[in-house]
Amino acid sequence: MIAHWQEKPAPLLGLLHALHDRDGYLSDESLRAVSEGLPIPLADLYATVTFYHHFARTPPGQRAPRVCTGPICSQRGARDVLQALDDAQEMPCAGRCDHPIPVLVGQQVFTAAPDATLSPIPSPLPPINPSAYEECLFAHIRDAGRHTMAGYRASGGYRGLEKALQKAPGDLLVLLEESRLAGRGGAGFPTGQKWRAVSEATGSPKFVVCNADEGEPGCFKDRALLDHDPHALIEGMILAAYATGATSGFIYLRYEYPETLDRLETALEEARSDGLLGRQIGGKDFHFDLCIRRGAGAYICGEEGSLLNSLEGKHPYPRNRPPFPVTHGFNDCPTAVNNVETLAAVGPIVANGAEWYRNLGLGENAGTKLISLSGDVRRPGNYEVPLGLPLQTLLNDWAGGPLPGRQIQAVTMAGLSGGFLAEKDLEVTLDDPSIRACGSFLGAGGIMVFDDRRDMVDVAAQAMHFFADESCGKCFPCRIGTQRLSERLSGTDGPSAWTDWQSEVEDIGSAMASTSACGLGMAAPHITQSLLKYFPSQIQRHLANQQDLP
Ligand SMILES: Cc1cc2nc3c(=O)[nH]c(=O)nc-3n(C[C@H](O)[C@H](O)[C@H](O)COP(=O)(O)O)c2cc1C
Ligand code: SF4
């Protein structure tokens, strides 16, 4: 097994998964063999392996059920399921907030009923388009057989690639820039500009990396694309390679999507047999192939520097920037790291034109955004919205509004990273300028809804606990700040007088936002800042009776 992986690019994660899948855990013998085979010093390997949630070091390991305890599942009874299942362990948000409560057993995802009965429920399709707005990414996703090569081609798939290959790579860069497509993984960097930087970078070889880590709680839109439209991602990656001059690519897929892995592998084989991957694609001097590497359960591995370190088999700390991945990415070579949604949008943009894509947005906004909507609404699910759509239209007209007899108290933005919006700020439109004016951001587009039954201090405490758990510990403002905020929200430490509590929490948050080394530590204080902004009376109630603190 080790000899087989020694030959492959980015071998460490693949090899660890193979051994973990074989035995159910990583034994001392396995670690020693990996350490000698790759080779990696045993102490470094041990530190890296134990960083990931997924890799168990003892039985029952992978055979133990893992129950999602993300924000929505926690409210749907995840703790009861945890108690009811033998050997069950907690797992952070597993990306099925539209169908809680996911339980992962080995390589299968089940949905747990409140009595902990497990049923294998296939990955849900997005709801039928509830509006007259034209879709880009979901336009054909509900077509029967769309996940196969035949189904994809039947609804116009790979037409963008055919068109692009008739032009020079530089024309593709111009088209992308004109479309104003921006990264959909969270940071919103213009995609055309990123690809141009890779294409102009001097190093070689060049790489395209798809970030399919989707670890942000409340986000599950990449899963829908990967499960039901895998060729859209593959087409986008081939186009990225053509535009940038990349010859190899990776899809970094979160391990929590085991069934997605099978779908993707089949789609890659289909693309290879059709000559869309490999050498001389489209009869041109254009060579590109790609492979999948599974993550192992670490939210920070969605951050691009951390992801690249993880791929390289290093300890997955975020990297200091500059230099940026466009010049110094995988193995220090020029690399385009892009989110699944970003890449999947490129095929339709090339097929239909930059102007078509720009005009899908409302007002000044260009294009569409996938929103993963979950929690206390009647029709949770993935929705493709024109950028600039009022949030209230999504919540009430598209998703059916609050549950009977209830009112929406707050929503999160950017999964958890944008904190909460409430009161008059629920009138925002879904675009960054509007949301940033309220102190938050759209990010990857996860929106979790909390109605008037929910204790927002409790929700905030769980969110901060997640960030504290997932902080990689590399820089102290985040490592210590997330812990201190977590203690203050849960009432286990800190002042009990309101004004002291408020100023201490504000101080910690602003120090974290301005001095943390990566987006995790910068974003986590959105939780406390927005809690202070909208829910001071709920905090005061908790402080008045510390015994009640969650
Ligand atoms: C803590 C953290 C987690 C992240 N997780 C993801 C993720 O799961 N998926 C993703 O595409 N981007 C994630 N990002 C953003 C990536 O660093 C990067 O900006 C993105 O993959 C670039 O692709 P895009 O330009 O297509 O958005 C994360 C960033 C941070 C700081
Ligand atoms: S901000 Fe947090 S997650 Fe990011 S490098 Fe610092 S400790 Fe690690």
pLDDT in tens, the chain (550 residues): 888 888 899 999 999 999 999 999 999 999 999 999 999 999 999 999 999 999 999 999 988 999 999 999 999 999 999 999 999 999 999 999 999 999 999 999 999 998 899 999 899 999 999 999 999 999 999 999 999 999 999 999 999 999 999 999 999 999 999 999 999 999 999 999 999 999 999 999 999 999 999 999 999 999 999 999 999 999 999 999 999 999 999 999 999 999 999 999 999 999 999 999 999 999 999 999 999 999 999 999 999 999 999 999 999 999 999 999 999 999 999 999 999 999 999 999 999 999 999 999 999 999 999 999 999 999 999 999 999 999 999 999 999 999 999 999 999 999 999 999 999 999 999 999 999 999 999 999 999 999 999 999 999 999 999 999 999 999 999 999 999 999 999 999 999 999 999 999 999 999 999 999 999 999 999 999 999 999 999 999 999 977 544 4
CB 6 within 8 A of CB 19: no
- Ligand 1 atom showing the smallest separation from residue 342 Cα: 26
**SS3 for 438?**
coil
Could you give the 3-state DSSP secondary structure of residue 335? strand
Taking Cα atoms as reference points, which of 479, 14, 39 lies closest to residue 261?
14
> Residue 211: nearest ligand to its CA?
1
H or E element that contains 412: strand 408-412
- Specify the residue with its C-alpha closest to ligand 2, atom 1: 521
Please give the Cα distance from 420 to 535 (Å, whole number): 10
Counting atoms of ligand 2 from 1, which one is nearest the CA of 318? 5
Ligand nearest to the CA of 95: 1
Q: Which one of 244, 304, 335 would you pick to mutate in the ligand 1 pocket, going by the greatest count of ligand atoms within 8 A of its CB?
A: 304
Which of 251, 303, 311 best tests ligand 1's pocket when mutated (most atoms within 8 Å of CB)? 303
pLDDT at 550: 47
Residues contacting ligand 2 via CB (< 6 Å) = 300, 318, 471-475, 478-479, 516-518, 520-521
Is 381 a pocket residue for ligand 1 (Cβ < 6 Å)?
Answer: no
Beta strand pairing call for 207-212 and 248-253: parallel
Sheet holding 207-212, edge to edge: 289-294, 248-253, 207-212, 335-339
Contact between 100 and 77 under an 8 Å Cβ cutoff? The reply is: no
Nearest ligand to residue 305 Cα: 1
Ligand closest in space to the Cα of 316: 2
User: Is the shortest distance between the CB of 211 and ligand 1 below 6 Å?
Assistant: yes
Residue 67's alpha-carbon distances to 2, 70, 97, in angstroms, are 31, 9, 13
The rounded distance, in Å, linking the Cα atoms of 115 and 133 is 40
**Token pair for residue 56?**
């168990």
Fill in the amino acid letter for 474. Answer: K
Q: At what angle do helices 340-352 and 221-228 cross, to 10 degrees?
A: 60
Q: Is the CB of 335 under 6 A from ligand 1?
A: no
For the beta carbon of residue 450, count every other beta carbon within 10 angstroms: 21
236 within ligand 1 shell (Cβ under 6 A): no
pTM over 0.95: yes
Top mutation candidate among 467, 474, 486 for ligand 2, by most atoms within 8 Å of CB: 474
Q: Report how far residue 488's alpha carbon sits from residue 480's, in angstroms, rounded to the nearest whole number.
A: 12
Task: Give DSSP secondary structure letters for 356-386.
Answer: HHHTTSSTT--SEEEEEEEESSSS-EEEEEE
- Bridge partners (DSSP) of residue 95 are none
Cα 437 to middle of ligand 1, angstroms:
22
